[in-house]
Chain A
Amino acid sequence: MADIQKNEQQQNTAFESNYIDENIKADQSSKAKAFVKKFLKRKTAVLGLIIIVLLIIIAIIGPYIAPYQYDAYDYANALQGPSAEHLFGTDHYGRDIFSRMLVGARLTLGVSLSAVIVGAALGTVLGLLAGYYGGIIETLVMRGSDVLFSFPDILLAIAIVAILGPGIINVLIAVMVFTIPSFARIMRSATLAVKGSLYVEVAQSLGCKDSRLLFVHIFPGTIQSLIVNFTMRIGSAIMAAASLSFLGFGANVTEPEWGAMLSQGRNYIGIASHMVYFPGLVIFLTVLAFNLFGDGLRDTLDPKIK
């Protein structure tokens, strides 16, 4: 008898939690729909998203659709301007710039994306811990990012490459380190803001464990600032990586990395400006796409803006 009752109770609670879950799910899906609807109204942001999707497709299939071999020398056709055969023209070895850019998309996007992903993850964890625990952890993290911030912008990445030496992996590490402090700072202040809010205080007073509080209650509250900063940072990572390559610290000159291509083109600016024009334009469009998308996300997520 007692067993049956217990069973029934369990079923009841199971039913209840199911019911609640479904309610939340329904609520979330309608929220998601409203979000998509709001986002689609921002035409420039949608344009950014379309370019990003295109770029990702190119990064995946680039080598298969390239009309020429990206590293095929053809001295007879060196430094040719754009034409029907060579859409973006050829470089000083007669290599097809369009093909090189298609193949290089992987490299350029891959380096920046992976650098930001790792940097964001590290920065986020540091920021969360700093904001939540305060004290010595906070001091360490914040002073650390103060120091990193003292080498503004790309200077930090240059310093890191100076230590590690040139090369594409080192550029990746440099961009990653360059990404960490901004996430640590933003996440710390977001965590502090969420931590002070009523619902976290309630959870705390109910005896919630630290880890659960951090990841179930606080982290979701900070996710908006995280997403927006993440998108924006990809743009600056691409720019930083391209700048390093331009300065000659990046990819090997034989590699079809966009920044490196631009750097080589610099020597031929007087006679073959297309060598500078196209790689730069594509870097610009890529960064622009991520910035437009990030702007749109921020405005859509911001409750203050209708």
Chain B
Amino acid sequence: MSRYFVRRILATIPLMFIISIFVFMFIHLIPGDPARTIAGLDAEEWQVEAIREEYGLNKPIVTQYVDYMVKLFHGDMGESMKSFTPVSELIAERMPQTLKLVFAGVLWAPILGIFIGVMSAIKQGKIFDHVCMLIAITGLSAPGFWLGLMGIQIFSVQLGWLPSGGLDSWKGFILPSFTMGCGIMAVLARYSRSSMLETLREDYVRTARAKGQKESLVMFSHAFRNSLIQVVTILGLQIGGLLSGSVLTETVFSIPGMGRLLTDSIQFRDYAAVQGLLMLFALQYVLINLVVDLLYGVINPKIRLD
């Protein structure tokens, strides 16, 4: 029973290992001499040398990696090159905002998306289906940040109902959460519709009807449950999308979260902060996917009992 779970958890270890190499290599992938890039073009040679020394860039690359990992396991992501505070502190300060934002999106978008998709499949070919799918493809195609800006224009500037930025009150959450969730709702609506349509063609749905089961229960306890198993497989990808969507949403609504920190750090060439943030984003994403995969194992007996 637990073999799948153990295997799945163990599989994240090599993945995290490769990701850590990738993120570590980040500084070395910058074209040219990284120390020179960090120091700036007009820096003196001794300054560049000092930076090389400080970041250990003059040591062999394997030693550098080992040092980096040892520090990382102690929660040390280096020091910001801009504010000279530890990166871990910077991130810890910003993280709650991003998590709140992601949570505000996760709370409604997947549920509404799956609901719309399943209902569309049941009412396939009817007006309801067409309208829902039109909404879904619109949500999929509209840039989230544009929707957010238009939301600000209408609800903050014109009507003055909602704040244009910040997450200070519940009202502040409405527009950002809408901006974040729109895309994932659309994707899930489309995906769960096609998955439900596929399930409705299955033999066991016919069996349930042949038993004399009510149509609503045929849909719910036979078709829906099985189509959900497929939907869950893409849920991780979508929640990960929320995470990266936070970069744009935070910019639109001037929310000081991890996404803003990332774009600011890139602009200031604060590579230590960028490195730390990328590591953390990837880690979060891998963890989300792990949780979703474990959930998949729980609801799919074929995997659980294998």
Q: Are A147 and B137 in contact (CB under 8 A)?
A: no
Q: Beyond the given A158-B266, A164-B31, A248-B267, please list 15 additional residue pairs across the A-B interface where CB-CB is below 8 A.
A: A143-B15, A147-B19, A151-B244, A155-B247, A163-B30, A239-B143, A243-B145, A246-B145, A248-B263, A262-B145, A262-B146, A273-B157, A280-B149, A284-B143, A287-B141
- Contact among B137, B241, B286 for A288, CB-based, below 8 A: B137
Does B262 have its Cβ within 8 Å of any Cβ on chain A? yes
Q: Which residues of B contact A149 (CB under 8 A)?
A: 237
Does A161 have its Cβ within 8 Å of any Cβ on chain B? yes
Point out which of A159, A280, A283 has the most chain B C-beta atoms below 10 A from its C-beta.
A159
Q: Which of B107-115, B210-218, B274-282 contacts A (4 or more CB under 8 A)?
A: B274-282
Does B128 have its Cβ within 8 Å of any Cβ on chain A? no
25 contacts between A and B (CB under 8 A): A147-B15, A149-B237, A150-B15, A150-B19, A150-B282, A150-B285, A151-B278, A152-B243, A153-B244, A155-B247, A155-B278, A158-B247, A162-B26, A162-B274, A243-B143, A246-B143, A246-B251, A247-B247, A276-B149, A277-B153, A283-B146, A284-B142, A287-B141, A291-B141, A292-B137
Does A146 have its Cβ within 8 Å of any Cβ on chain B? yes
Known: A163-B26, A246-B251. A284 touches B266 (CB 8 A): no
Q: Are B244 and A152 in contact (CB under 8 A)?
A: yes
The CA of A162 and the CA of B264, in the complex, are separated in Å by: 11
Q: Are A266 and B149 in contact (CB under 8 A)?
A: yes
Tally of B interface residues using CB under 8 Å = 42
Q: Are A163 and B247 in contact (CB under 8 A)?
A: no
* A183 smallest CB distance to B (angstroms): 16
- Contact among B138, B157, B266, B267 for A269, CB-based, below 8 A: B157
The CA of A147 and the CA of B26, in the complex, are separated in Å by: 13
- Contact among B153, B267, B274 for A276, CB-based, below 8 A: B153
The CA of A280 and the CA of B152, in the complex, are separated in Å by: 14
Q: Are B241 and A153 in contact (CB under 8 A)?
A: yes
Point out which of A162, A242, A273 has the most chain B C-beta atoms below 10 A from its C-beta.
A162
Q: Are A269 and B149 in contact (CB under 8 A)?
A: yes
Point out which of A239, A249, A277, A283 has the most chain B C-beta atoms below 10 A from its C-beta.
A239
Tally of A interface residues using CB under 8 Å = 41
Q: Which residues of B contact A152 (CB under 8 A)?
A: 237, 240-241, 243-244, 285
Q: Which residues of B contact A262 (CB under 8 A)?
A: 145-146, 149
Q: Which residues of B contact A153 (CB under 8 A)?
A: 240-241, 244-245
CB-contacts of A244-272 with B (<8 A): 246-249, 262, 265-266, 269-270
- Contact among B19, B26, B137, B244 for A154, CB-based, below 8 A: B244
Does B91 have its Cβ within 8 Å of any Cβ on chain A? no
CB-contacts of A103-160 with B (<8 A): 143, 146-147, 149-155, 158-159
Known: A155-B244, A155-B247, A247-B263. A280 touches B146 (CB 8 A): yes
Q: Which residues of B contact A151 (CB under 8 A)?
A: 244, 278, 281-282, 285
CB-contacts of A3-47 with B (<8 A): none
Q: Which residues of B contact A269 (CB under 8 A)?
A: 149, 152-153, 157
Does A235 have its Cβ within 8 Å of any Cβ on chain B? yes
* B81 smallest CB distance to A (angstroms): 13
Q: Are A161 and B266 in contact (CB under 8 A)?
A: yes
Point out which of A152, A242, A276 has the most chain B C-beta atoms below 10 A from its C-beta.
A152
Q: Which residues of B contact A239 (CB under 8 A)?
A: 143
Q: Are A143 and B18 in contact (CB under 8 A)?
A: yes
The CA of A158 and the CA of B137, in the complex, are separated in Å by: 25
The CA of A262 and the CA of B282, in the complex, are separated in Å by: 29
Known: A151-B281, A162-B274. A280 touches B240 (CB 8 A): no
Does A295 have its Cβ within 8 Å of any Cβ on chain B? yes
Q: Which residues of A contact B4 (CB under 8 A)?
A: none
Q: Which residues of B contact A265 (CB under 8 A)?
A: 149
Q: Mark A69-88, 1 if CB is under 8 A from B, else 0.
A: 00000000000000000000
Residues of B at the A interface (CB closer than 8 Å) are 14-15, 18-19, 22, 26, 29-31, 137-138, 140-143, 145-146, 149-150, 152-153, 157, 237, 240-241, 243-245, 247-248, 251-252, 262-263, 266-267, 274, 278, 281-282, 285-286
Q: Are B143 and A283 in contact (CB under 8 A)?
A: yes
The CA of A260 and the CA of B146, in the complex, are separated in Å by: 12
Point out which of B31, B143, B152, B244 has the most chain A C-beta atoms below 10 A from its C-beta.
B143
Q: Are A154 and B247 in contact (CB under 8 A)?
A: yes
The CA of A162 and the CA of B243, in the complex, are separated in Å by: 18
Q: Are B19 and A243 in contact (CB under 8 A)?
A: no
Q: Are A287 and B143 in contact (CB under 8 A)?
A: yes
Q: Which residues of B contact A159 (CB under 8 A)?
A: 26, 278
Q: Which residues of B contact A291 (CB under 8 A)?
A: 137, 140-141
Q: Which residues of A contact B286 (CB under 8 A)?
A: 150
Give the residue name and chain of the A residue nearest to B138 (CB).
A288
Point out which of B18, B29, B240, B244 has the most chain A C-beta atoms below 10 A from its C-beta.
B244
Q: Which residues of A contact B31 (CB under 8 A)?
A: 163-164
The CA of A93 and the CA of B252, in the complex, are separated in Å by: 23
The CA of A239 and the CA of B248, in the complex, are separated in Å by: 12
The CA of A266 and the CA of B146, in the complex, are separated in Å by: 9
Q: Which residues of A contact B141 (CB under 8 A)?
A: 235, 284, 287-288, 291
Q: Are B281 and A155 in contact (CB under 8 A)?
A: yes
The CA of A68 and the CA of B153, in the complex, are separated in Å by: 28
The CA of A266 and the CA of B148, in the complex, are separated in Å by: 11
Known: A146-B15, A159-B278. A284 touches B146 (CB 8 A): yes
Q: Are A162 and B157 in contact (CB under 8 A)?
A: no
* B292 smallest CB distance to A (angstroms): 13
Give the residue name and chain of the A residue nearest to B130 (CB).
A44
